[in-house]
Amino acid sequence: MSFQVMMHELGEGMLKSMGIFSLTLLFALPLGLLVSFGRMSKNRLLKGVVWTYISIMRGTPLMLQLLAVYFGPFYLAGLKLGSNWRFTAIILAFSVNYAAYFAEIYRSGIESMPPGQYEAAQLLGYTKVSTFMRIIFPQVIKRILPAVTNEVITLIKDTSLAFSLAYAEMFTIAKQIAAKETSFMPFLAAAVFYYVFNALIAFLMERIEKAMAYYT
Amino acid sequence: MPLLEMKHIRKRFDENEVIRDISLRVDKGEILSIIGPSGSGKSTMLRCATMLETIDSGEIWYMDERAAYVDAKGSKVYPRGEEQKKVRSYFGLVFQNFNLFPHYSVMKNITDPPIHNQKRQKAEVYEEARMLLKKMGLEDKENAYPCQLSGGQCQRVAIARALALNPQILFFDEPTSALDPELTGEVLKVIRSLADLHIAMVIVTHEMNFAREISDHIIFMDQGVVAVEGKPEDVFNAEHARMRAFLGKLEH
Ligand SMILES: Nc1ncnc2c1ncn2[C@@H]1O[C@H](COP(=O)(O)OP(=O)(O)OP(=O)(O)O)[C@@H](O)[C@H]1O
Ligand SMILES: [Mg+2]
C-alpha cells in the first residue's frame, strides 16, 4: 500500500472522527445545560435522577457505555436496528456521556455567579429568563471556557473509542492498515492527525477566550 | 401622599429576628437616612422594601397601593406578573458593591434595562443616558467597561443605571462604604445633586455629616427597632445612650 493510499484512507477516517466530534458537541453542549438545570432543580426527585445519571456517566468507562447503547436494544428488547444504528449509537453514547461532564461544568459556572448580579437584574426589571440569557449566561461562558476546552480536547482523543464498535473512524483504520502492512507508520500518521486537530481546536478556543478578555 | 409606607414590618432569619416591628414612611421628594450600628438590620430593611427579601409580617405600600403584605393567616402576599412589574418600576436600588454588569459597557449597563425591559425607544433612551452620564461627570466613559473604572466611577454608573428607569424612589445601601475616602466625595456630590431634583431617597449610610446635611428625616436603628427618629438636628442631639455611643465610636 502506497503512502498516498494510506494517507487517503486515514484522511477519510479523520473526517469520520471529526463527524463524531462535531455532532457530539452539537448535542452535548445544549443537553449539558438542560442537565445542569435538572441538577440544580428544587425538585428533589428530578435532582436525584439527574445526580444518578451524572454519577453513572462519570463513574463508568465510556467504552462500556458505547457497547451498552449499541447492544442494549437487542439484548434488552430483542430489537434489531438497521445498519445506521452503529453511527447513531455512537453519537448517542458520546452526547449523553459528554452532556454529563458539561452539566457539571455549567453548574459550577452558574453557581459561581455572585448573587448580586441576580439581585441587580431583578431590580432593573429583567425577567427570570432575560436575567439568565442576558446577564448570567454570557458571564458563565467566559468563566467555564477553560474547563470546556479541556473536555473538548479530551473528546478529540475519545473519538478513537468508537473503534470498539468497529466504526471506521481514524483509529480503527490506522489499526487495520497497521495489521495488514505490519507497519508502525499508520499509528504515527494517526498520532500526527490527532495532534494537528488538537492544535487547531486549542488555537480556536484560545481565540474565543481572547475575544472575551475585554472584561474581567 | 406617601410614596412608600412600611407598616409594622417584621423579618427573621431562622430564629434570629432582625426587624422587629418597624414602620416608616417616605413622601414625594423626601430624603430619609437610616443610620445605626452594624447588624442592626438596615440592609435587611432596604432589602424588604425592594422585595429582595420577603417580610414575615406587616405591609408595604407604594403610591397608596398595598404592594405586599402578610395576611391574617400568615401567608405572604406579593405581586405577580404585570402588577409586580408595575410595583418594581416605582423603585430603584444602588448597592454597596455596585453590581454593574461586567460584560456590558457603561452605556449598555444604563440603556439595556429601559430598552429591553421597558420597551422604550432606543434613540430616546440613549439621549437620556448621555444626559445622565454628563450629570455624573462620566461623559467620556460611555464605551468603557466597568473593570476599567474606579470604584467611585462604577458607583456613579450604577446611580445613572438606576435613574434611567425613572423610579419614584431610590434606595441606597451604604453607597460609599466600598470606596476609598478620596472617592467618597464624588459619589456624595452626585447624590446631593439628585436631592435638588426632588427624587425621593432612602439612604443607609455611615457618613454622619452627609446624612445630617441632606436628610429631611433620620432613623437610628438598633437591634431591629427604630430607637430614635426625627429631623436631623433632633436625632443628632437626642440623649439616647446607644446612639451617643454609636456616634461617639464613629468620631474616633
Ligand atoms: N440572608 C441572611 N441570612 C441569615 N441572616 C442574615 C441574612 N442577612 C442578614 N442577616 C443577619 O441579620 C442581621 C442584620 O443584618 P443587616 O445586614 O440588615 O445589618 P446592617 O444594619 O445592614 O449592618 P451593616 O452596617 O454591617 O451593613 C445580622 O445579624 C445578619 O447576620
Ligand atoms: Mg448593611
Domains for chain A: give ranges and CATH numbers: 3-211 (1.10.3720.10)
Task: Name the residue of chain B whose CA is nearest to A139's CA.
Answer: B103
Q: Mean pLDDT score of chain A, rounded to an integer?
A: 93
Q: Between chain A and chain B, how many beta carbons pairs sit less than 8 Å apart?
A: 57
Backbone dihedral angles phi then psi of residue A13, each to the nearest 5 degrees = -60, -40
Low-confidence winner among A49-58, A71-80, B58-67, B68-77 (lowest mean pLDDT): A71-80
CATH 3.30.70.60 fits B2-90+167-251, yes or no: no
Q: Quick check: B113 contacting A, CB < 8 Å?
A: yes
**If pLDDT is split at 50, 70 and 90, which confidence band does A178 have?**
confident
For residue A164, pLDDT over 90 is answered with no
pLDDT by 10s per residue, chain B, length 252:
899 999 999 999 999 999 999 999 999 999 999 999 999 999 999 999 999 999 999 999 999 899 999 999 989 999 999 999 999 999 999 999 999 999 999 999 999 999 999 999 999 999 999 999 999 999 999 999 999 999 999 999 999 999 999 999 999 999 999 899 888 999 999 999 998 888 999 999 999 999 999 999 999 999 999 999 999 999 999 999 999 999 888 776
Q: Starting from the CA of residue B250, give the closest ligand.
A: 1
CATH 3.40.50.300 domain span(s) along chain B: 2-90+167-251
- State how far the Cα of B215 lies from the Cα of A179, in Å rounded to an integer: 87
**How many CB atoms neighbour CB B180 within 10 A?**
10
Check CB contact under 8 Å for A125 and B165: yes
Please answer whether residues B202 and B49 qualify as being in contact, where contact means their C-beta atoms are separated by less than 8 angstroms.
Answer: yes
pLDDT for res A93: 97
**If pLDDT is split at 50, 70 and 90, which confidence band does A183 have?**
confident
In B41-150, which ranges are E strands? 57-62, 65-70, 76-77, 91-94
Mutate to test the interface with A, among B51, B101, B143 (most CBs of A within 10 A): B101
Q: Which of residues 21-80 of A touch B (CB under 8 A)?
A: none
Residues of chain A positioned with their CB less than 8 A from the CB of B100: 120
pLDDT for res A182: 86
Which residues are B26's β-sheet partners? B4
Average pLDDT over residues A83-107: 95
Judge residue B146's burial from the number of C-beta atoms within 10 Å of its C-beta, 0-12 exposed, 13-18 middle, 19 or more buried: buried
Residue linked to cell 425577567: A127
What is the ipTM score, two decimals?
Answer: 0.94
Check CB contact under 8 Å for B102 and A216: yes
Taken in order B85, B86, B88, B92, the sign of the CA dihedral is: positive
Please answer whether residues A117 and B101 qualify as being in contact, where contact means their C-beta atoms are separated by less than 8 angstroms.
Answer: yes
Instruction: Output the CA angle B153-A130-B203, nearest 5 degrees.
Output: 40
**If pLDDT is split at 50, 70 and 90, which confidence band does A68 have?**
very high
Task: Name the nearest CA neighbour of B43 among B94, B86, B84, B90.
Answer: B94
